[in-house]
Amino acid sequence: MPFYLLFAGYAIVKHHLFDIKLILTEILVGTMGIILLILPFLMISDSLRILTSIIFFLFCVFGYYLIKAIHNEIKKKEEAEMFKVTSNELKTRLAQILDLEDVIFNISSTLIVAFKVKRISFAIKQPTSKFYEFHGTTNFQEKELASLVGDTFLCPYLEKTKKHLLREEIPSLIECTKEDYEKEELKTIQEKFKKNEICILFPLFQKEKLIGIIFFGPKFDGTCFKKEGIELLETISYQISLSIYNAFFYQEFKKDKDILEKFYRLIMGKELKISELQQKIKELEEKSEERE
């Protein structure tokens, strides 16, 4: 009895929260395994011993995969909860920031921690410009990324599809494409993905217009993005796009404000000089009248 209490306590601490399903499954599989292990030694004939041994072996295999499946389910729940927390934290932080570099720094640092990626970069296009500028680049070569963004095919393709571009999905896209021109362009992009270790391109839209692209490299464990990670990016992409767009608007507003302040100071200075000149003219007129 004390052994089972210790085992249950360990399981609770190990797997966090009180996941009764996992604890009960492990106890049940372990107990059944011990019973089936002892059972062949209690059989009176060799055929029964062989049969019970086979049953024990099959039980071990299915029990292993059962526990593994539950572990994976819990891991997915934990990742989903982490992504949810990450999304909420990012929205809260971005709502309080207006400077473009600060916005991108916060987005970049949050995504690196959430997805455990080694490489990330932001190609952002200002509303008044046709060219993309890179921000928050970590472990990527910006020249290589610039050649990819400068390609006349990629950005129009992302605007047309309104979807991310995952490295693993490019071969199937090549097969499904009917146009030879698109096939060749996609093959070129696939080669650049491989060369620069790009896992996924995630487009950012504002009012149906492409305003930026996030480049993601592989994770620290060497794996690429899973379905849950892509769904999270899709969930928070609007907030990211809106924050970057607001940062652009703030920058433009700040520039206009600075210009207006300079103009105001210039006008105010001239007004003061004109006022002083008018005052001196008035004084001279008064003195002239006194002399007369």
**pLDDT tens, residue by residue, 173-218:** 999 888 888 999 999 999 999 999 999 999 999 888 899 999 999 9
Weakest-pLDDT range from 14-23, 150-159, 212-221: 14-23
Q: Which two tokens stand for residue 1?
A: 């009895």
In whole angstroms, give the CA distance from residue 236 to residue 177.
Answer: 29
**Helices 180-196 and 142-149, axial angle in degrees (round to 10):** 170
Contact 142, 121 (CB under 8 A): yes
Mean pLDDT of 260-274: 59
Which residue reads 């930026």 in tokens? Answer: 212
Contact 112, 86 (CB under 8 A): no
Q: How buried is 258 (Cβ within 10 angstroms: 0-12 exposed, 13-18 middle, 19+ buried)? A: exposed
Instruction: Write down the pLDDT at residue 87.
Output: 57
Instruction: Write down the pLDDT at residue 18.
Output: 43
Rounded mean pLDDT of the chain? 78
Contact 248, 127 (CB under 8 A): yes
Flag whether pLDDT at 1 surpasses 50. no
Q: How far is CA 212 from CA 116, 155, 226, in A?
A: 22, 9, 22
Report, in angstroms and rounded to the nearest whole number, the Rg of the chain calculated over CA atoms: 33
Q: Phi-psi bin for 162: left (phi > 0), alpha (psi -120 to 50), beta?
A: left
Q: Which CATH number fits domain 99-250: 3.30.70.260, 3.40.640.10, 3.40.350.10, 3.30.450.40?
A: 3.30.450.40
In this prediction, what percent of the chain has a pLDDT beyond 90?
Answer: 24
Contact 164, 232 (CB under 8 A): no
Mean pLDDT of 144-167: 90
Cβ within 8 Å of residue 147, ≥6 positions away: 192
Q: Name the band, by pLDDT with cuts 50, 70 and 90, for residue 267.
A: low
Contact 83, 173 (CB under 8 A): no
pLDDT tens across 57-88, in order?
888 888 888 878 777 776 666 665 665 555 56
Mean pLDDT of 105-131: 87
Q: What one-character DSSP code corresponds to residue 219?
A: B
| Dihedral pair phi/psi, residue 205, rounded to 5° | -120, 150
- At 133, is the secondary structure helix, strand, or coil? strand
Against a cut of 0.95, is the pTM above it?
Answer: no
Flag whether pLDDT at 54 surpasses 90. no
Q: Name the band, by pLDDT with cuts 50, 70 and 90, for residue 286.
A: low
Instruction: Write down the pLDDT at residue 39.
Output: 79
Instruction: Write down the pLDDT at residue 68.
Output: 80
Instruction: Write down the pLDDT at residue 250.
Output: 78
Flag whether pLDDT at 110 surpasses 70. yes
Weakest-pLDDT range from 72-81, 121-130, 140-149: 72-81
Contacts 24+ apart (CB under 8 A), 144-150: 144/192, 144/195, 144/196, 145/121, 145/196, 145/215, 147/192, 148/189, 148/192, 148/196, 149/123, 149/213
103 vs 26: which has the higher pLDDT: 103
Which is nearest to 214 in space by CA: 283, 70, 117? Answer: 117
In whole angstroms, give the CA distance from residue 92 to residue 106.
Answer: 11
Residues of the chain with CATH 3.30.450.40: 99-250
Which is nearest to 123 in space by CA: 196, 173, 184, 187? Answer: 196
Weakest-pLDDT range from 19-33, 131-145, 164-178, 209-223: 19-33
Q: Name the band, by pLDDT with cuts 50, 70 and 90, for residue 272.
A: low
Q: Which two tokens stand for residue 19?
A: 């996941």
Instruction: Write down the pLDDT at residue 217.
Output: 93
- At 45, is the secondary structure helix, strand, or coil? coil
140 vs 247: which has the higher pLDDT: 140
